[in-house]
Chains A and B, each alone.
Chain A
């Protein structure tokens, strides 16, 4: 260890190299499961520092794991094979906004919300809105291809990236894409890197696309007596010529948990609610609101409420935000999944989830971005109860299987990381996975860049327990 450590110190300031137990444990986890002690946590604040660290790792064959703010829900930054956690969160914030071109150039450490704040000063917005945007870094968002409610109308992170700067696993600097909307020069490496979960290199800069901020928004809350009608209502809305910016779904268990945690005026008798947000010109919104009301009445929704003021609307969205803390009260451990199905299959998926819940006797609540089929079934359990956790593991496996069988995918937002790696072949097929693996191997011949992620290791299974 001493050899590479000495080499590191040649360029990296001492206070950016952490080797004490307390520090190493502080970079041993993310927001998912498992904890792995790295040999060191090293902070990079410039491109040159990243190059130096990666070159050493590559030379000495030391695994290296990029890390933003460690909010990943699938194990992306976990140092599963020891080695170096590369902390990028302390890189000084750089946001270079070019209002005329509707673009912004950012350093990897920038918190996603900060981009939006700067954009709003110019009447613009950065559309991707993962709910962790005030905490997570853009580097993490790019690596995970994060998305949020607005993904329905505007798309996810990958739809807003024009160009990247990347330090390859061999320590070389490349630039992909550019500053322009149109660009067809060669392979689209930008899109390859986005969503690669830090396995192809370290993103050191990104050029992102901005768009005009819609002048106004309108919220509508719709209640349903059964989940199937809710599912149909979503499809019907989306084929009616209206494209809401958000369509959020909450099931009964979720609604009741929120009302118990903090009474917010949600309808506790409803089997499901869908909260819709429309954005655009005020006149258009008036029209669309009426249209939505008609659709919902026709299809048999039990109630439609249209908040008259922005405060009332804020109250509804606040209630939606309370879902996370509210369900945490049911049981302390939350296994948050994000299996995604084609929109029309939402009711079928809900049926499957109910069966799974019964079969394994686990607590499941469901909410999510129903507009794009991205459900968040959350299993509430207690990490300390080994027996329960085994049931949960089985339930999670079946949820994945159900999503794939319905033509969906393992993950809509949270990424594969360590947690979903064992299920990759089921979704992609042996050849599909092998082609991905070949790309990875040629980018990273010494397999030092974030090993243990995406690609299952021999015999790897889903484990939510700490043995």
Chain B
């Protein structure tokens, strides 16, 4: 195989032909809107991948447009010809990542890391729990994560303010791995805890377990579970992400459960596509399909049961910022809205453009801070227009980003952001 041919294969050249360049994706793409050029549109990116595959443009030319893509997949939802943009994007990232190994950027990054990041004691304190996240996620060192950023300044301090207070390690340790019911259980579910959720939003995870119990489920937390691998895939580390997928599939096979529940839109989206990672007909593919068939967002299982009522009146106005990955990949649209509509006293004001990404997009807001903030500004105009007191989300990344947006707009005295799970528990659900 010639060099160009193998590049073509890796970069999914064939899939680019599904794009008929109709432009239907342009109005849906946040970066096309804020960066104002076709280069940063889905159609432009796909075309560039094609140009690289044909040897007309270089991998370097492709790097920036791909790095600036949020991966929000809004383009795939509107695409009339069903272009597999997700796969094209991942292929491009992998090619870029492989290409970079030869560059000096790694060194630059590590210099930055060990020179200025680690010595920042204040920052490390706040993120104490995150160390755990990195271990658990298999990213192992910050270097792995941050090498992506080249030597771009990381605006980590901006996030400091919005990270919730962390529970003590003692509190964390109190959690059991199994919640068996005295009455017969409605069903048995395994809870996928996630890395960011379980470190930064530990309490929300606890609340998730509590909700599941109140809804009558038996809950187990398989111990061997690990990071979903989304961040790895988004940064071109395909092999790592496949490895993590296998570990999770194994971990969740250990228990006989009816559903696997997640409460993070981004992780859920990754996991409902685990089967795409393996070749059809292989045993891993079969196991992945099993895994996928059980995977549900928490809102999907809660909404199916109606014998639960809410005890407490929640007298406030909320708006809902759906997670892009939940909308465009998991295609879970209405369950969160249906649940909120059941909460007594709650007024739900929907956004004008709920499907427009908030700009958090995994670690996009850390790596491409300025671009992310441009997108967040568009989102916040819509959020502020809705005149609500609380922005409800279903994904940790979005939650942090919305908190950041509220902070940036200076409306933190009148508005806050919370996870759907926390809102539901606050309304004190009880079985009839």
Q: Chain A interface (Cβ within 8 Å of chain B)? A: 18, 20-23, 25-31, 35, 41, 43, 69-71, 87, 90, 111, 132, 134-136, 324-325, 328, 332-334, 382-384
Given A20-B61, A332-B18: A70 in contact with B23 (beta carbons within 8 A): yes
**A interface majority secondary structure:** loop
Q: Which of A111, A132, A382, A384 contacts B22 (CB 8 A)?
A: A132
Do B81 and A25 touch across chains, with their CB atoms under 8 A apart? no
Tell me the complex Cα distance, A296–B81, Å: 34
- State how many angstroms separate the Cβ of A3 from the closest Cβ of chain B: 25
Complex Cα gap A142–B156 (Å):
49
Q: Is B23 a contact of A25 with CB atoms below 8 Å?
A: no
Residue of A20, A22, A132 contacting most chain B CB atoms (<10 Å): A22
- A/B interface sample: 13 pairs, CB < 8 A: A22-B57, A22-B65, A25-B51, A28-B47, A31-B22, A70-B21, A90-B37, A132-B24, A135-B24, A325-B81, A325-B82, A328-B18, A382-B17
B47 and A25 contacting across the interface, CB-CB below 8 Å: yes
Per the bound structure, the CA–CA distance linking A43 and B26 in Å amounts to 17
Tell whether B56 is near chain A: CB-to-CB under 8 Å: yes
In B315-349, the 8 Å CB interface with A consists of: none
What's the nearest-Cβ distance from chain B to residue A208, in Å? 20
Q: Are B47 and A29 in contact (CB under 8 A)?
A: yes
Assuming the contacts A26-B48, A29-B47, A328-B81, asked whether A69 and B23 have C-beta atoms less than 8 A apart, the reply is yes
In the complex, per-residue mask of B41-75: 1 if CB is within 8 Å of any chain A CB, else 0: 10110011001000011100110110000000000
Contact with A along B11-52 (1 / 0, CB 8 A): 000000110111110110000000011110101100110010
Q: Are B17 and A384 in contact (CB under 8 A)?
A: yes
B167 at the interface (CB under 8 A from A): no
B47 vs chain A, min Cβ distance (A): 6
Cα–Cα, bound, A314→B431 (Å):
40
Contacts of A31 in B (CB 8 A): 20-23
Q: Are A334 and B65 in contact (CB under 8 A)?
A: no
| Docked pose: A27 CA to B47 CA in angstroms | 10
List, in ascending order, chain B residues with CB within 8 A of A132's CB: 22-24
Q: Is the CB of B44 within 8 A of A21?
A: no
Tell me if B80 counts as interface (CB < 8 A to partner A). Answer: yes
Chain B, residue nearest A20 (CB): B61
Taken together as a complex, chains A and B put the C-alpha atoms of A135 and B27 apart, in Å, by: 7
Which residues of chain A have C-beta atoms less than 8 A from B27's C-beta? Answer: 111, 134-135
B58 — nearest CB in chain A belongs to which residue?
A21
Q: A18-B37, A26-B44, A71-B23 are in contact. List 18 more A-B contacts (CB 8 A).
A: A18-B39, A21-B58, A22-B61, A25-B48, A26-B37, A29-B21, A30-B21, A41-B38, A69-B23, A70-B38, A70-B43, A71-B22, A90-B36, A132-B24, A332-B18, A333-B20, A382-B17, A383-B17
Q: Chain B interface mostly helix, strand, loop or mixed?
A: loop
CA distance A135 to B22 in the complex (A): 9
Q: Which residues of B contact A (CB under 8 A)?
A: 17-18, 20-24, 26-27, 36-39, 41, 43-44, 47-48, 51, 56-58, 61-62, 64-65, 80-82
Name the CB-closest residue of A to B16: A332
Task: Please give, as numbers and ranges, the residues of chain A lying within 8 Å of B57 by CB-CB distance.
Answer: 21-22, 25
Closest 8 CB pairs of A and B: A26-B38, A26-B44, A26-B39, A325-B80, A328-B81, A22-B61, A71-B23, A90-B36
Closest to A322 in B: B80
Residue of B22, B36, B43, B48 near A43 (CB, 8 A) is B36
A87 proximity list for chain B (CB < 8 A): 37-38
Q: Is the CB of B17 within 8 A of A332?
A: yes
A357 to chain B minimum Cβ distance, whole angstroms, is 21
Q: How far is the CA of A324 from the CA of B38 in the complex (A)?
A: 23
Contact A135 B23 (CB under 8 A): yes
- The answer for the CA separation of A111 and B37 in the assembled complex, in Å, is 16
Complex: A23 Cα to B62 Cα, angstroms: 10
Which A residues are in CB contact (< 8 Å) with B21?
Answer: 29-31, 70
Chain A, Cβ-Cβ closest to B20? A334
Across-interface contacts of B82 in A (CB, < 8 A): 325, 328
A135 neighbours in B (Cβ, 8 Å): 22-24, 26-27
In the bound complex, residues from chain B placing their C-beta under 8 Å from that of A43 are 36-37
Most chain B CB neighbours (cut-off 10 Å) among A31, A43, A87, A382: A31
Q: Measured between alpha carbons, how far is A87 from B38 in the docked complex, in Å? A: 10
Q: Are B80 and A328 in contact (CB under 8 A)?
A: yes
